[in-house]
């Protein structure tokens, strides 16, 4: 039996910021109300117009980081590193940090990935790694 794999999209988690349709302000995580102009967001798109989704990935700068030791069951590691980054568009986000010796201000590249390793609770989030 032949299977046409081209029909299947490879699973690629993506994290989106949202763009206010009124003033163009980008925000993440998606707010219910634009912090700049007060425009309301309706996730269902039923009452208010849907906000444009903007994929968040690419270059970012490390603003700060922390080691987390108290991990939930299901994660087979002693600790995880979490970093706060700023993207080139000014948005900030928290995510997993894959750098062994992080330094504040270092250039990183963000990709979306599954950040929880507990079965049934996979969540798309940010993963930050050294550029190149």
The verdict on 20 binding Zn ion (CB under 5 A) reads: yes
Q: Which is nearer to Zn ion, 13 or 21 (CB)?
A: 21
Adjacent-strand bridge partners of 97? 128
**What does each C-alpha distance from 79 to 10, 18, 67, 68 come to in angstroms?**
30, 31, 6, 5
Other CB atoms within a 10 A radius of the CB of residue 63 amount to 13
Distance CA 95, CA 80 (A): 10
> DSSP 3-state assignment of 5?
helix
The verdict on 23 binding Zn ion (CB under 5 A) reads: yes
Q: Which is nearer to Zn ion, 31 or 125 (CB)?
A: 31
Q: Considering the complex, what minimum distance in angstroms separates the CB of residue 19 from Zn ion?
A: 9
The verdict on 22 binding Zn ion (CB under 5 A) reads: yes
Show the site string, 33-62: x = touches Zn ion by CB under 5 A, - = not: -x-xx-x-----------------------
Which residues contact Zn ion by CB under 5 A? 20, 22-23, 25, 34, 36-37, 39
């Amino acid at each position: 039996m032949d299977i046409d794999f081209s029909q299947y999209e490879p699973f690629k988690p993506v994290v989106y910021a949202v763009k206010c349709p009124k003033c163009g302000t980008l925000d993440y995580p998606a707010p219910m109300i634009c912090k700049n102009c007060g425009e309301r967001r309706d996730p269902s798109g039923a009452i208010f117009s849907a906000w444009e989704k903007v994929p968040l990935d690419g270059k970012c700068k490390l603003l700060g980081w922390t080691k987390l030791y108290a991990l939930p069951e299901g994660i087979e590691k002693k600790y995880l590193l979490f970093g706060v980054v700023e993207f080139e568009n000014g948005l900030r986000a928290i995510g997993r940090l894959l750098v062994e010796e992080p330094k504040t201000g270092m250039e990183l590249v963000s990709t979306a990935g599954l950040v929880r390793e507990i079965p049934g609770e996979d969540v798309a989030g940010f993963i930050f790694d050294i550029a190149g």
